[in-house]
Structure 1
Amino acid sequence: MIQTSDDGYIFVGTKDLVNSTDIVVVKTDMYGNPVWEKTYGDSLNNIGNSIKATADGSYIILGTTYIDLNQTDMHLLKIDSKGNVIFENLIGSNYSETGNSVIETSEGEFVLVGTKQNDPDAANSSLDICMVKANAQGDSIWTRIVGGTADETATGIIQNFDGNYVIIGSSESFAEVGQAKSNIFIVETNQNGIPITLMSYGGQENDHGSSVIQLDDGSYILVGTTESFGSGGKDVFVAKTAVGDIRTKEWETTFGGEKNDLGAHICLLKDANYAIIGTTESFGNGDRDMYLVKFDGIGNEIFYRTFGSTGYDQGKYLIQTSDEGFGILGLTGFENNSMICINKTNADGELK
């Protein structure tokens, strides 16, 4: 989700058709009313996962496309401000790749991350993190694989102040002392995609990473979901690292209640605090609701808000808007159907 220069919004998702799905991009006005909607894809299933604004005023989109019923490729798409295609490329191999997050680099190229399935017919088949560098035309320059003997997945990527890349996801292969099952996984690579530092955060149960930001001092805050710590079920996990060192943790905290609470995306705010969007089953009005939590630089909660109806609602992505309020992208479900929804709040997280 991006706020556009006219104070509207643009976001990417997936649209159900009769026998398939397409990547869908919607541009709205400042009140969330659709201005235009465009779909992209072929006759099989296409899934939209990530959209970022580019330096030339266009948008870069990453998703996943089914080549056949059993194989997928990363789907990289650049569009102009009206939704017209500038380029569209599929990036993959003989096995399956999924595209989860894309950024434009400081050189005007693109780095994509997702997941690669190793030989599905092999007895020890597993998933690895797949990282792809593409040029300004969307053509692949190189591919790097990060993985071990079990499953690794990537959900997000940023470029840090040094020009290196920091990936967040989950790992079953690189456990630290006292960890088991799946752990929140953070990887720093150099500009050529070669890993420099790996670190896992978690405990004895399943923990998954979803989003990471770098702060002005060079440290990082990461967010995910933990079953190892917290109040019960799944809880939102937040940790801050030391300056320039993803392996050293300064503090960690959790947010949640007795049921499941999931951390989706973190946003650095103009007042030097932070906000997270996600999904809660512990609080709110329905089976699942979106939540918005704001916290300070040492993890203390400033406010907590929920949004939703009697059905299920999920928070997916968060931005701070030009008026210092919040723009929230999510899903709302009812009667076996789900719809993309956007919420706009004031600076206190209130729908006014």
Structure 2
Amino acid sequence: MIRFNRNHFFFLALFSFSLLGCPGKFETKPAPPPGSFVFGGEGVEAGSHLLELPDGSILILGSAKLPGNDDYDVQIVKVNPNGTEAWTRNYRNKDREESGHSIIATSNGYLVVGFSRKSLNPGYKLLLMELDANFDLIKKREISSATFSTRKNSVVGFFNLPNGGYLCAISMEGVSFLIGISQDLNLENQRAFNSQRTSGKANFITQTKSGEFYIALSFEDSIGFAPRFGKLDANGVLLWTSRLDSVVQADAFSLFPLGISELNNGNLIVSLYSDFAEQVLLELDTAGALVNTTTLASNPQYPFLRGQLDGSIALAGYDEYFWGNSDPHQNFSLSRQDTAENISFTENFGGDSKEVLKDMIILQDGRYALVGNTQSFGKGDSDIFLVLYNR
């Protein structure tokens, strides 16, 4: 004979309750598509930037706070083409909080740019690390500036210039900067764009195949506040800007640029976020004239745009949603726009956690690579989250 005690009835009731679809903690989110990889341990790791090497391997640049260490180190993870980890290097500097935001290849090896500050010191310095071809540290330089060192920053663009120097684009709350850096890693010049809207998430600069630069920013000058489209020459000198609110016939305060990229046809694509719960994609020619307009839903938001060889546009961003009675979740979101009216697919990557997207590139073999960090709710640590996706 089978006997039931109070514990049996409790678990039977619990099982029946879960089958009824109780919202919140009894719900399970569908498994994400394959191709997701997590790197990290017990500490706090975050990926900020991707660089594909000629052999098809991928560098993930970011930062790591290891157990027992109160500060952050610059971290580089090399990933094989199949997504497995090849090696991880941490660059330690005692009593410093350091983070890597962008990495470029140079004639001698690699150059890392990020930010550094001494422990408990509120001021940030621009960090430059020169690495050889074996990723060993050759030189480290910190650049101070009263204008961009007061708050936490993000480097959203880092480029080689014809004169051997570098152009660095910095985005932070309320203001963005273009920084000129000499070949010997000294500060040469800087230009600030003061904004009345947040600019901390804007990927506001792109370099075309011809070597010129274009920007899309909301900033204030003598004429007033407006979202603008602008051109820089190959040396990073600003040539002109034009207003985007007049192009789309909207209130200047209702539009904020999220990202910009070059298309396969030589035009530029700009993502604008609207206060009216929508996004607008603007295709502009190199003189700033409107070619095409597409209106998208407000979620996901797409700061990362990449033109593709077939004329389509890859859009990557973050999708915030509520699952049951939980706190808001955030996952990676990837879409492809084939025509002005057609989104051919949208995929979300992540789980019952918060994934923060920091970069997206298209690999040589046509796959999409997305990187950021993932953090489970209720836990203080985070790991690097990489997605390699083929469609």
Separation (CA, whole Å) in 1 of partners of 2:92 and 2:257: 29
Question: 1:209-228 counterparts in 2 under 5 A?
Answer: 209-228=257-276
After superposition, the Cα gap between the structure-2 partners of 1:239 and 1:81, relative to the gap in structure 1 and judged at 3 Å, is farther
Do structure 1's residue 137 and structure 2's residue 184 form an aligned pair?
Answer: yes
Q: Which residue does 2:389 correspond to in 1?
A: 345
Q: Which has the higher contact order (CA 8 A, sep 6+)?
A: 2
Which runs of 5 or more structure 2 residues have no equivalent in the other structure? 1-49
1:90 aligned to which of 142, 164, 188: 142
Separation (CA, whole Å) in 1 of partners of 2:100 and 2:256: 21
Q: Alpha-carbon deviation of 1:309?
A: 0.7
Q: Which residue does 2:28 correspond to in 1?
A: none
Q: Which residue does 1:252 correspond to in 2?
A: 293
Do structure 1's residue 188 and structure 2's residue 235 form an aligned pair?
Answer: no
Q: Which residue does 1:279 correspond to in 2?
A: 318
Q: Which residue does 2:337 correspond to in 1?
A: 295
Report the 3-state secondary structure (helix = DSSP H, G, I; strand = E; otherwise coil) of the residue aligned with 2:70. coil
- The structure carrying a bigger helix percent of its residues is 2
CA contact (8 A) 2:193 2:219 kept: no
Query: Share of identical aligned residues, percent?
Result: 17
Q: Which residue does 1:15 correspond to in 2?
A: 64
Q: Which residue does 1:305 correspond to in 2?
A: 347
| One-letter identity of the residue aligned with 1:71 | G
| One-letter identity of the residue aligned with 1:316 | K
- Once the two structures are superposed, residues 139-192 of structure 1 have per-residue CA deviations (whole angstroms, 9 ceiling, x without a partner) of 23333334478876664433346654323444356888xxx8xx6543323435
| One-letter identity of the residue aligned with 1:255 | L
- Once the two structures are superposed, residues 109-153 of structure 1 have per-residue CA deviations (whole angstroms, 9 ceiling, x without a partner) of 310121589xxxxxxxxx543222223332233333344788766
Do structure 1's residue 48 and structure 2's residue 100 form an aligned pair?
Answer: yes
| One-letter identity of the residue aligned with 1:188 | K
After superposition, the Cα gap between the structure-2 partners of 1:288 and 1:184, relative to the gap in structure 1 and judged at 3 Å, is farther
CA contact (8 A) 1:168 1:186 kept: yes
Separation (CA, whole Å) in 1 of partners of 2:355 and 2:199: 28
Q: Which residue does 2:127 correspond to in 1?
A: 75
CA contact (8 A) 1:212 1:266 kept: yes
Report the 3-state secondary structure (helix = DSSP H, G, I; strand = E; otherwise coil) of the residue aligned with 2:74. strand
Separation (CA, whole Å) in 1 of partners of 2:310 and 2:287: 24
| One-letter identity of the residue aligned with 2:229 | I
Q: Alpha-carbon deviation of 1:14?
A: 2.1
Q: Which residue does 1:34 correspond to in 2?
A: 85
CA contact (8 A) 1:131 1:193 kept: no
| One-letter identity of the residue aligned with 1:215 | L
After superposition, the Cα gap between the structure-2 partners of 1:145 and 1:210, relative to the gap in structure 1 and judged at 3 Å, is same
Q: Alpha-carbon deviation of 1:32?
A: 2.2
CA contact (8 A) 1:72 1:95 kept: no
CA contact (8 A) 1:113 1:130 kept: yes
Which runs of 5 or more structure 1 residues have no equivalent in the other structure? 118-126, 231-235
Q: Alpha-carbon deviation of 1:326?
A: 1.2
Separation (CA, whole Å) in 1 of partners of 2:352 and 2:219: 35
Separation (CA, whole Å) in 2 of partners of 1:57 and 1:214: 28
Separation (CA, whole Å) in 2 of partners of 1:5 and 1:162: 21
CA contact (8 A) 2:264 2:310 kept: no
Equivalent pairs counted in the alignment come to 323
Separation (CA, whole Å) in 1 of partners of 2:380 and 2:255: 29
Q: CA RMSD in A?
A: 3.3
Report the 3-state secondary structure (helix = DSSP H, G, I; strand = E; otherwise coil) of the residue aligned with 1:296. strand
After superposition, the Cα gap between the structure-2 partners of 1:341 and 1:276, relative to the gap in structure 1 and judged at 3 Å, is same
Q: Alpha-carbon deviation of 1:81?
A: 3.7
Separation (CA, whole Å) in 2 of partners of 1:75 and 1:99: 12
CA contact (8 A) 1:152 1:172 kept: no
Do structure 1's residue 4 and structure 2's residue 45 form an aligned pair?
Answer: no
CA contact (8 A) 1:229 1:254 kept: no
Separation (CA, whole Å) in 1 of partners of 2:254 and 2:365: 38
Separation (CA, whole Å) in 1 of partners of 2:343 and 2:222: 31
Separation (CA, whole Å) in 1 of partners of 2:292 and 2:187: 38
CA contact (8 A) 2:303 2:316 kept: yes
Q: Which residue does 2:215 correspond to in 1?
A: 167
Q: Which residue does 2:305 correspond to in 1?
A: 266
After superposition, the Cα gap between the structure-2 partners of 1:108 and 1:276, relative to the gap in structure 1 and judged at 3 Å, is farther
Could you tell me the TM-score, scaled by structure 2's length? Answer: 0.71
CA contact (8 A) 2:197 2:218 kept: no
Separation (CA, whole Å) in 2 of partners of 1:254 and 1:57: 45
Q: Which residue does 2:283 correspond to in 1?
A: 240
Separation (CA, whole Å) in 2 of partners of 1:64 and 1:332: 21
CA contact (8 A) 1:188 1:197 kept: yes
Separation (CA, whole Å) in 1 of partners of 2:389 and 2:212: 34
After superposition, the Cα gap between the structure-2 partners of 1:143 and 1:173, relative to the gap in structure 1 and judged at 3 Å, is closer
Separation (CA, whole Å) in 1 of partners of 2:349 and 2:159: 29
Moved more, 325-334 or 13-22: 13-22
Separation (CA, whole Å) in 2 of partners of 1:41 and 1:96: 24
Report the 3-state secondary structure (helix = DSSP H, G, I; strand = E; otherwise coil) of the residue aligned with 1:245. coil
Do structure 1's residue 105 and structure 2's residue 153 form an aligned pair?
Answer: no
